[in-house]
Chain A
Amino acid sequence: DQQVKQNSPSLSVQEGRISILNCDYTNSMFDYFLWYKKYPAEGPTFLISISSIKDKNEDGRFTVFLNKSAKHLSLHIVPSQPGDSAVYFCAASVRGGGADGLTFGKGTHLIIQP
Chain B
Amino acid sequence: DADVTQTPRNRITKTGKRIMLECSQTKGHDRMYWYRQDPGLGLRLIYYSFDVKDINKGEISDGYSVSRQAQAKFSLSLESAIPNQTALYFCATSDLVRADTQYFGPGTRLTVL
- When chains A and B are docked, how far (Å) is the Cα of A102 from the Cα of B92? 11
Is A16 part of the contact surface with B, judged by Cβ < 8 Å? Answer: no
Contact of B45 among A41, A97, A101 (CB under 8 A): A101
Q: CB-CB < 8 A to B45: which residues of A?
A: 100-103
Summarize A's interface: helix, strand, loop or mixed: loop
Contact indicator per residue, chain B 38-53, by CB within 8 Å of chain A (1) or not (0):
0011111100100000
Q: Are A99 and B99 in contact (CB under 8 A)?
A: yes
Give B35-74 interface residues, CB cut-off 8 Å to A: 35, 40-45, 48, 58
Closest residue to A92 on the B side, CB-wise? B100
Q: CB-CB < 8 A to A107: which residues of B?
A: 42
Q: Are A4 and B99 in contact (CB under 8 A)?
A: no
- When chains A and B are docked, how far (Å) is the Cα of A104 from the Cα of B45? 9
Q: Are A98 and B90 in contact (CB under 8 A)?
A: no
- When chains A and B are docked, how far (Å) is the Cα of A100 from the Cα of B94? 12
Known contacts A97-B96, A100-B58; A46 and B42 CB within 8 A of each other: no
Q: Are A102 and B44 in contact (CB under 8 A)?
A: no
Q: CB-CB < 8 A to B104: which residues of A?
A: 36, 43-45
Closest residue to B35 on the A side, CB-wise? A101
Give B83-113 interface residues, CB cut-off 8 Å to A: 90, 92, 94, 96, 99-107
Give A9-24 interface residues, CB cut-off 8 Å to B: 9
17 example contacts (A-B, Cβ-Cβ < 8 A) are as follows: A34-B100, A36-B104, A43-B92, A43-B105, A43-B107, A44-B90, A49-B101, A95-B100, A98-B31, A98-B94, A98-B102, A102-B45, A102-B100, A104-B42, A105-B42, A106-B41, A107-B42
Q: Which residues of B contact A (CB under 8 A)?
A: 4, 31, 33, 35, 40-45, 48, 58, 90, 92, 94, 96, 99-107
Q: Which 7 A-B pairs have the closest CB atoms?
A: A43-B104, A104-B42, A101-B45, A97-B99, A98-B99, A98-B100, A104-B43
Q: Which residues of A contact B (CB under 8 A)?
A: 4, 6, 9, 32, 34, 36, 41-46, 49, 89, 91, 93, 95, 97-107
